[in-house]
Structure 1
Amino acid sequence: MFRSTSLFEAGIAPFLDRKEMIDADADLDDCFVICRSTLLIFRLSTMNNAVIMPPYRNPWGLERNVMRLLRERGFSIYAKLLISFLFVVLPLYVIALISNQNGSEMVKEELRRSLGSKVHFYLSTFDSEMMRIVQLRNEYVSDKDLQDISLLSPIMSDYQYTQSVSRIIDRLNVLKSSSLYVRDVKVSVPSLNRTISTKTYSDSLENTELSPKKNMNGALDASILQADNQYYIAGSYPLALPQDTAPLYYVKITLSEEKIMQSLSDINHNLKGGAILFGSDLSWSIHSESEKPFLPQVLPYAQEMAKSGANEASQLMRSNGKDYFVFYERSPKLNTALLVYIPEDEILGPLKKNRIWLWTLSIVSVTISVLFSVWIHRLIRRPIRTMVQALRNVEAGRTGIVIHYRFKDEFGYMYNQFNAMTKRLNVLIHEVYEQQIRAQRAELKQLQSQINPHFLYNSYFVLYRIARLHDIDNVIRLAQHLGDYFRFITRSSNDEVPLSEEWKHTLAYIEIQMIRYRKRMQTRYDEIPEACREIKVPRLLLQPVMENAYEHGLTNKASGGLVTVQFLYRERSLTIVIEDNGDELSSEQIRLMQQKLKQYDDWTETTGILNVHKRIQLKFGSRFGLQVSRASIGGLRVEMTIPAQEEENGDVPTVSGG
């Protein structure tokens, strides 16, 4: 035990004397200074067994520079651990990031080429199909039956005419069935005012205002035309006609817009993009409803490509907050242009997911590094922080604290020595406290002895006067109250009594005074709250205050004197208010009494309410006692405040150190 006390005086006391204790979140370097100093106190230094390892020589000097930086900058242990882990992780992360970026660029370029090839393949297939339809049209334009009915119908018999028309309809059906893109085929013969289609033979001539264009070599144009919301390929006979001369007949192959849109949608079947087919002068376009909002965005780009004469192009375009890859290719055979757009996310989605996984892996790696650093850091910081908190508790006077540690290492030994030290301190404090309590009890006995004879001087004289008046009833009452009064005063077995007994004694005193001064004054009082009847209070607590009211407050009151007693119960305290209506007490006298109540430490001998005030504070502490002020009924108001319940002593606090 002597060793623990010496350790406290030699090593721990300097820290307790510091005005500013180290905070729990202070820099760890300061904590390590405490730890190292404490370990030296407890003779736990292992410097003699330390092994000094030769430093590792990095050829590039990077590691040496980093370690020098960590030493010179004064970083905390946590920062040093974190920087060390990041120093290992960051190079690996940078290499992985660069590799991912290069791979993304290569894959992106390959995907662009693949999609460009897909667009080219579709347009080539579409061109081949359309050129096959154009070839069939060219053959049907020179059909012999068409020539016969347009030139020889006046001299043909009905049978011949009917057979020719029937053969024409059969050929038209064959042309229609030859391609999914053909919706209908019609032949208009102006000389007969007739239109022949795959389904009907109409008596009205279809108005065909768009004559087929001629190429420079005299062949029929292969362009896809548009009129009246229809797309078609047309031809007429004869091929060479003078200007403003109507042909003998027209051949009109109407294309199926639905089939063309369906084939366009197959280009981006799984990529959530779109495709738009433009005419030669961009005057018409075939697209679905879903592509309609995107058309104004890409039309300027298509016009620019058409004006530049480029056959193939691609670029990245932004629309409605999203990036799109746009591929453009022109068909010289059909004078059409195909534009395909695909969201960038659809193409680079897997690459972005890969990058997200890379970022996730990076964040997880950094998080693991941080957590691992925190874990190692807490192995050292938590015991030190616990010790600092324990020292602060000892500094605050809570010497009964006990700290625990699960491991049997240097911190465990230090904690055990600290617990032994605080245990010894508790013993010393208990001895000093016991001596102080004994001194206080002796002082209480002395203060109480001052009260006992205070009322004895005139008690018998009052009884004598009443007996001479032969007032037997009041003699009996007074004798009974005097007996109760002096029996309570002379009983010395207990220094404390329940408040109900103290109040019973005070009522005996009040009755005695009322017998003496029944013509001059009266007393009004409340009942004690039921919850406060068993409160332990020092004996002779209320009677001196009542005596002060009678003997000093109402001493010159010939009649109409009044003393009131109230019990004000609150959750944690009880206030007993005693007022009188005396009229001789000045405000200056009240102020002096208030000043004396605050300076009771300087008293050498006290009586009356000052005596009561000191006894209350000795018993319950400085928060309780007496307060004086001007009473609402004119005289002195005394407020006696005591705790409403006993405060329970808590167990010895403990702190866990790991």
Structure 2
Amino acid sequence: MKLKLSTLRRWVSPGLSIQGKIFIAFSLVALLSILSITGIVYVNMRETIKENAVTSVSDSIRQADESLNMMLEEIDRLNTVVVTNKNTVIDTLLSPSEEISYEWFQEQKRIDEFLSSLTDYKPYITRIAVVGLNGKVFFTGGPWLDRTVIGTRMMDYILVNGSRHAYFKQTGVSDAITVGREIRYDRKRIGVVMVDLNYDFIKKTYGVKPTADSMLYVLDEQGEFVYLPESPPSFAPSAEKVVSLHQEFASTGDAVEREIAGRSYIVVSRKSDHTGWTTLALIPMGSLLSESTKLRNLMFEVSAIVLIVVLIGSLQVSSKITINIRRLKSMMTLVKDGNLSLPMKEIKTKDEIGQLYHVFIGMLAELKRLLEGIRVSEKEKREAELTALQAQIRPHFLYNSLNTIKYLARLNGTPNIEEVSGSLIELMRGVLGNSNEFLTVREELDYVRSYISIVKYKYMQPIPVHEEIEDEALLECKVLKLMLQPIVENAVLHGIGSREQGGFVMIRVSMESHNLKIEVTDNGKGMTQEQMDRLLGEQSKGEAPSRFSGMGVRNVHERIVRLYGEPYGVKLYSELGLYTKVVITFPLVQEQEISKPIVREVV
């Protein structure tokens, strides 16, 4: 019995609970198993019953044939004794004495005694007779026999077939099986000997029935019935149908299932090697399998009881399996509703559900920790917003104060104070007022110019800063905020600050291998390798940081590497007494069409 997978999926709906799916799966498996086992057992049982019936009938027919053959062989021996007895049988048949004479009475007495001695203690023999072709008839037993037997169908059959032995079925007043043999003398037929077999022995011999309504027929080689069932059932096939079956199975000796007159029969046939008779047994399938039908019904009843027990057991098992899943579902529903602090009933199993429970508890603890962190973070954020609001007030006040100083310097005719105030305003506006993390190269250079405008008054002399831009479009590329000013500040403080005159700073912006390269070169006193390593490494104690920006060369390098990774960042090249060059490498964030180089000098 097969069940398509699509049908199973249709039965097990996705909307069912796990318990329902397990219950349905167990039920289907149990149902299919029980039906399969019941069907297989029933089919095998049917085949076994049929095989046993065929074997039983075949054995019964064989035993009946063997029993009959033993009697017939003994009768054949009696016939042989008769036909070979010259003094009593042959001489009597050839004697010229007539009936109702003394010699005839003597012959009659002698042959009667001889025949009686042959049939004594043989109850299956009803009559033995010697019939001469000259009209003499001698017999013992019954029924009565006279010379009218000469010329009958039985007599002719024996004379034609009785060279050895001939078997003939008599019908009439008394049914019997006649075994005859011709009597010869001097190569001439002078008569026959006939022995009648009691038909009751035939009935007992072939009265085997595997079932109450089975039928058994015995037919001779001419298709005549030797044995018929005494009281056949009403549905028994006609004699013509039995004769046709005899013609079909006379030589095969098979056991087949055949449809006869709308009924199914098992037909078993056997042909006797001794007599040439064919025995046909017809066993109705309905009666043969009636017990199997009862057993089948009993099996279905037992299967139904077993299925009910399995369904109840599967319901209990599925409930037991899914109880922890339902507990876990209830916990998750509470968590979904926001109840994180409710008591959780522990699941102690070691299976996947228990492991899932521990994972869920860990996730819940992590969720509580994250929510607490968010709460603290939100509190700190509100405090930071308040602090930022307060910090915004101070720069505005500082801008206004510096603007006042700038206007007063202009009114009093002090352009240097006006220039320093204006540059400081622009620089602080870029540092404090612009919240963007990225600026263009152009804006970075503006901050550098503002810084140079302020710091040149410290040295009481101009600080030459040369700008060389390889491509005007490079000025629109994005770089980190306050990336260039700390480098220039370092060049001014540690490079050219110690020179009395002739110092300068060169800023070159170019593109190399699709990267943005900015070089800051000064002609100061230079640095040793140890100084360069310290500049990119940890700051030594006592070393003053950049006094304006608070960010050094190392800070710029770490910011670039942290954002873009290697090989971007800051590299230093220097020789003592000659120069120091800082090379900053950025990915080219924005590219535009290349135009002619420009050179600008800031003093």
Question: Bigger radius of gyration, 1 or 2?
Answer: 2
Q: TM-score w.r.t. structure 2 length?
A: 0.42
Q: Which has the higher contact order (CA 8 A, sep 6+)?
A: 1
Q: TM-score w.r.t. structure 1 length?
A: 0.39
